[in-house]
C-alpha cells in the first residue's frame, strides 16, 4: 500500500507506463508562492551559480567603463571587448579621446551597432567631461545622464560598478526574466526596475544585476528555451509567459 501511494504521488500509468508530473507539480506550487518568497528562492539559486560574477565589459577605470557601456547598446559585450582594447590604447582618457576626430573614433568602433552615432557621442561626452568635470567621470546620476549617449541604464551601470552606489540597471536579459518569473508585468523597463528594487535589499542590487545577466545568457535565452530544465523557470516561471 505504501509503495502504491508513493507511485501515485509522482506518476500515473499502467502496464509499465510511467508519466512524471513533477515539473507540473513544481509549477503549480509556484502559483501559490508569494512573490517575496519566490524572490528569496531565486536569490539562493543565483548565489549558488554565480557567487562572484565579473563585470563582463573590460575596462580599467570609470571612464573606460562608461565608454564600454555606451558601446554595448545594441551590441554584444563580446563585440565591445574586441574593439575597446585598441581604442583605449589610443585614447584611455577624456583628453586623449577628445583629441581624436569623430571619424578616427568611428574607425575603431565601426563593427559596433550604431557606430556613427556612438562615435559622435563619445567625442562630445569626452569634451564635456573636460569642460564640466575636470576630466573626471562624475559619481552622479544626473550628471552622467546629461552626457550625450548616456541614458539611465548606462548611468546605473557606471554608478553601481564603478562607484559602488546601489543601482539596478535593467537590460534586455533582466527585463525578460523579471517578466518570465512573474516578478514584474513586462510593461516597461522602468516598471521592471521599480519592481525588482522593491523585492531585494539595496545591498544586493549591484550583485544581482550581474547574476541575472549571466543567468539569462547561460540558462534562460529568449528563443528555444527549454524551460522545463531551467534551474529557475522550471518552478518559478509563469507558464503563459514561458509559452508566449
**First vs last C-alpha separation in the chain:** 42
Burial class (CB in 10 A: 0-12, 13-18, 19+), 220: buried
Instruction: Establish how many alpha carbons lie within 13 A of residue 66's alpha carbon, considering only the half-sphere containing its beta carbon.
Output: 32
Spatial separation of the C-alpha atoms in residues 229 and 33, rounded to whole Å: 20
182, 238 Cβ separation under 8 angstroms: yes
Q: Phi and psi at residue 117, in whole multiples of 5°?
A: -65, -40
Spatial separation of the C-alpha atoms in residues 231 and 87, rounded to whole Å: 39
From 171, 185, 195, 239, the catalytic residue? 171
Spatial separation of the C-alpha atoms in residues 170 and 223, rounded to whole Å: 19
Place of cell 549571466: 214
From 38, 118, 153, 195, the catalytic residue? 153
Closest CA to 177 of 224, 232, 244: 232
Please, which residues have CB within 8 angstroms of residue 213's CB and are 6 or more apart in sequence? 53, 56, 171, 173, 174
Q: Is 153 a catalytic residue?
A: yes
Spatial separation of the C-alpha atoms in residues 116 and 121, rounded to whole Å: 9
Spatial separation of the C-alpha atoms in residues 53 and 38, rounded to whole Å: 22
38, 30 Cβ separation under 8 angstroms: yes
Which residues are known catalytic residues? Answer: 153, 171
Amino acid at each position: 500500500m505504501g509503495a502504491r501511494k508513493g507511485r501515485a504521488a509522482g506518476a500515473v500509468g499502467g502496464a509499465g507506463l510511467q508519466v512524471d508530473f513533477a515539473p507540473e507539480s513544481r509549477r503549480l506550487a509556484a502559483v501559490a508562492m508569494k512573490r517575496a518568497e519566490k524572490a528569496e528562492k531565486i536569490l539562493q539559486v543565483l548565489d549558488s551559480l554565480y557567487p562572484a560574477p565579473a563585470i563582463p565589459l573590460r575596462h580599467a577605470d570609470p571612464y573606460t567603463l562608461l565608454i564600454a557601456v555606451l558601446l554595448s547598446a545594441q551590441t554584444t559585450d563580446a563585440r565591445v571587448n574586441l574593439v575597446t582594447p585598441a581604442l583605449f590604447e589610443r585614447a584611455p582618457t577624456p583628453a586623449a579621446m577628445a583629441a581624436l576626430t569623430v571619424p578616427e573614433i568611428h574607425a575603431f568602433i565601426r563593427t559596433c551597432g550604431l557606430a556613427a552615432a556612438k562615435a559622435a557621442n563619445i567625442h562630445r561626452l569626452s569634451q564635456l567631461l573636460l569642460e564640466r568635470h575636470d576630466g573626471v567621470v562624475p559619481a552622479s546620476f544626473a550628471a552622467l545622464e546629461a552626457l550625450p549617449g548616456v541614458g539611465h541604464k548606462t548611468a546605473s551601470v557606471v554608478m553601481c560598478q564603478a562607484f559602488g552606489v546601489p543601482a539596478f540597471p535593467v537590460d534586455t536579459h533582466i527585463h525578460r526574466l523579471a517578466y518570465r518569473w512573474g516578478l514584474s508585468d513586462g510593461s516597461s523597463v522602468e516598471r521592471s526596475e521599480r519592481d525588482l528594487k522593491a523585492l531585494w535589499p539595496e545591498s544586493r542590487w549591484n550583485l544581482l544585476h550581474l547574476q541575472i545577466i549571466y543567468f539569462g545568457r547561460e540558462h534562460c535565452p529568449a528563443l528555444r528555451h527549454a524551460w522545463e530544465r531551467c534551474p529557475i523557470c522550471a518552478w518559478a516561471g509563469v507558464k503563459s509567459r514561458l509559452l508566449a
